[in-house]
Structure 1
Amino acid sequence: MADMWATDLMDTLGAPGAGLAVALENLFPPLPSEVILPLAGFTASQGEMSLFAAIFWTTLGSVAGAAALYYVGALLGRDRTRAIAARLPLVKLSDVDRTEAWFARHGTKAVFFGRMIPIFRSLISVPAGIERMPLPTFLSLTAVGSLIWNTVFILAGYFLGENWERVEAYAGVLQKVVIVAVVLAVGYFVATRLRRRVLSR
């Protein structure tokens, strides 16, 4: 379904259509870049767009989508985020403090490497906005990280040609690993908090 939608955009708009698809993927993570990017590479291999244009426009789309989510985080703001966290069960404001301290130390690395991790590719923009990371820094890190990610997947689709869908299978394994890691981390957090609550009674 996603590949048909992305194909229609590329057929209609060319390389800018690939960029638009990637921008939307940032805002709606269920639209996987792991499908859009190798498809753009395959399209370039057929001579329907240049390889450079595919990389340029998809990277521009990545930055545009990430910037939109950055502003969502900025509008949400630190105070609202803390107010929401205070209402969540099992979450303490000290958790928010630790997260903020961690982001202050490692935020630049998180934004850069986060652009190359499924799921986090989109989500990392929100805390960057909440913490008001300097916009030029955020955009630069996002552009470079996205350029690396996009280039790898577009080149894979370009050289695999009609077998470009193989890329999605390998990327799917990485996404599953990330999901399992997140589920385990959340499970550990919840179990630890519940255990402490029981022992404190």
Structure 2
Amino acid sequence: MFEHLDFNYLLATYGYLAIFIGCLLEGETILILGGMAAHQHVLKLLPVIGYASLAGMLGDQLLFWTGRYFGERLLPRLHKQQAAIDKVTHLVNQHPTVSIFTVRFLYGMRLMGPMVIGACKVSPLKFACINLLGALVWATLFASAGYWAGEFLQQVLGDLKPYRWPIILGVMALVVVVALVRHVRAKRKAAQEG
């Protein structure tokens, strides 16, 4: 099915765009794959990090301003996210600088966190500066992880060209499994607390 698609052409043509769009949302999976593509010399590592950093920062800025202007009305309606909202609010109240930097690294908080920070009336300039630094560190870590995963797989498998689609599908499946396991654990923990 996939063997007729020219993987190099797809990545060279749409790779940076896919990284940018993927990193506007969550982004870790696409960023790891982008790092692996950089290892294979289909993409370049620094532009992967640059596009991912820009998209991650812009996405969080949009969520921050959403929280700033609509947080008082929007957040109380998100009953299923109340535990995450409470955690981020507590973190912002105790350590605002740390919360801005780390919220993108906390599972389940990436989308909710910047909205809560915006609703907490953190300074927009402070948020933008720390958010940019956090996005750069985040993009560098995940793209580098993908790059080094590519290096490891090449040492194990040799030439990765015949394995590119299975690797992509495998990484995506692994991310889905990890997300499901975390979701089930969170549900169990919520049921035990409730």
Over 3 Å counting, the alpha-carbon distance change for 1:44 and 1:103 in structure 2 is: same
Over 3 Å counting, the alpha-carbon distance change for 1:153 and 1:97 in structure 2 is: closer
Q: Aligned equivalents of 1:147 and 1:36: distance in 2? A: 16
Consecutive unaligned residues in structure 2, runs of 5 or more: 151-159
Instruction: Read off the aligned partner of 1:141 and give its amino acid letter.
Output: I
Q: What is the TM-score of this pair, normalised by structure 1?
A: 0.64
Q: CA deviation at 1:9?
A: 7.7
Superposed CA RMSD in Å reads 3.5
The worse-fitting range, judged by mean Cα deviation, of 179-188 and 125-134 is 179-188
Over 3 Å counting, the alpha-carbon distance change for 1:122 and 1:81 in structure 2 is: closer
Over 3 Å counting, the alpha-carbon distance change for 1:61 and 1:69 in structure 2 is: same
Q: What is the TM-score of this pair, normalised by structure 2?
A: 0.66
Q: CA deviation at 1:20?
A: 2.4
Contact 1:9–1:17 at 8 Å: present in 2 too?
no
Consecutive unaligned residues in structure 1, runs of 5 or more: 27-32, 192-201
2:57 to 52, 60, 63: 63
What are the equivalent positions in structure 2 for 1:120-131 lying under 5 Å apart?
Answer: 120-131=109-120
Q: Aligned equivalents of 1:148 and 1:171: distance in 2? A: 20
Instruction: Read off the aligned partner of 1:146 and give its amino acid letter.
Output: A
State the SS of the aligned residue for 1:53: helix
Q: CA deviation at 1:18?
A: 1.4
Contact 1:41–1:153 at 8 Å: present in 2 too?
yes
Q: CA deviation at 1:99?
A: 7.4
Contact 1:156–1:167 at 8 Å: present in 2 too?
no
Over 3 Å counting, the alpha-carbon distance change for 1:64 and 1:10 in structure 2 is: farther
Contact 2:88–2:117 at 8 Å: present in 1 too?
no
Contact 2:71–2:116 at 8 Å: present in 1 too?
no
List per-residue Cα deviations over 1:159-188 (Å, max 9, x = no partner): 333476566576567545643453245334
Aligned to 1:108: 97
Tell me the percent identity: 24
Q: CA deviation at 1:61?
A: 0.6
Over 3 Å counting, the alpha-carbon distance change for 1:97 and 1:16 in structure 2 is: closer
Q: Aligned equivalents of 1:140 and 1:126: distance in 2? A: 16
What are the equivalent positions in structure 2 for 1:18-37 lying under 5 Å apart?
Answer: 18-23=19-24, 25-26=25-26, 33-37=27-31
**Match status 1:160 vs 2:164:** no
**Match status 1:39 vs 2:33:** yes
What are the equivalent positions in structure 2 for 1:39-188 lying under 5 Å apart?
Answer: 39-78=33-72, 80-81=73-74, 84=77, 100=89, 103-161=92-150, 162=160, 165=168, 175-176=179-180, 178-188=182-192
Q: Aligned equivalents of 2:86 and 2:114: distance in 1? A: 19
Over 3 Å counting, the alpha-carbon distance change for 1:180 and 1:100 in structure 2 is: same
Q: Aligned equivalents of 2:133 and 2:191: distance in 1? A: 33
Q: Aligned equivalents of 1:112 and 1:126: distance in 2? A: 14
Q: Aligned equivalents of 2:29 and 2:92: distance in 1? A: 30
Q: CA deviation at 1:68?
A: 1.3
State the SS of the aligned residue for 1:124: helix
